[in-house]
Amino acid sequence: MKITMRTFVLGFTGIINSVLAFLGMVVPAKAFGEDNLSVVILSNLRAFTAAELALTIFSLYSLSHKKYQDMALIFILLTVIGWTVGQTLSIFVDGAPGTFTVGTIIVQALFIPLTWQALKKG
């Protein structure tokens, strides 16, 4: 079976986002590397991770339905860009970031061109 870049991106993000969404809904403080989160922030994080889970399910669904792959890749690209910009801005607002934040910014920034290439090769 030949694995295309498109299949890799959709499958990889599906697996990673499933784990993150599960952790974000069950224990958001651990998923985001924070110890002191207020109830309002926790409920917002659960809402965001539920939306991420919906995106993940759609991405995995699009693996077997080719006509939805472009839309799933666009959603992934927009989500990754949004998270990267948001976390980068939080460095300027909140000060020194933790290693988790720096690591996710680097991984997401590297993932943006990979997702773009998968979308263009469609």
* Residue 68 lies in domain: 5-120
Question: Is the pLDDT assigned to residue 108 strictly greater than 80?
Answer: yes
Please check whether residue 81 is in contact with residue 89, taking contact to mean a CB–CB distance below 8 angstroms: no
Q: How far apart are the first and last CA of the chain?
A: 18
Contacts of 113 (CB under 8 A, 6+ apart): none
User: Among the ranges 17-21, 38-42, 99-103, which has the highest mean pLDDT value?
Assistant: 99-103
The answer, as to whether pTM is greater than 0.75, is no
- CA dist 24 and 31 (Å) reads 5
Residue 19: the pLDDT is 75
Number of domains, the chain: 1
Q: Considering the chain, what is the average pLDDT of its residues?
A: 78
Residue-wise pLDDT tens digits, 29-48: 665 566 566 655 666 667 77
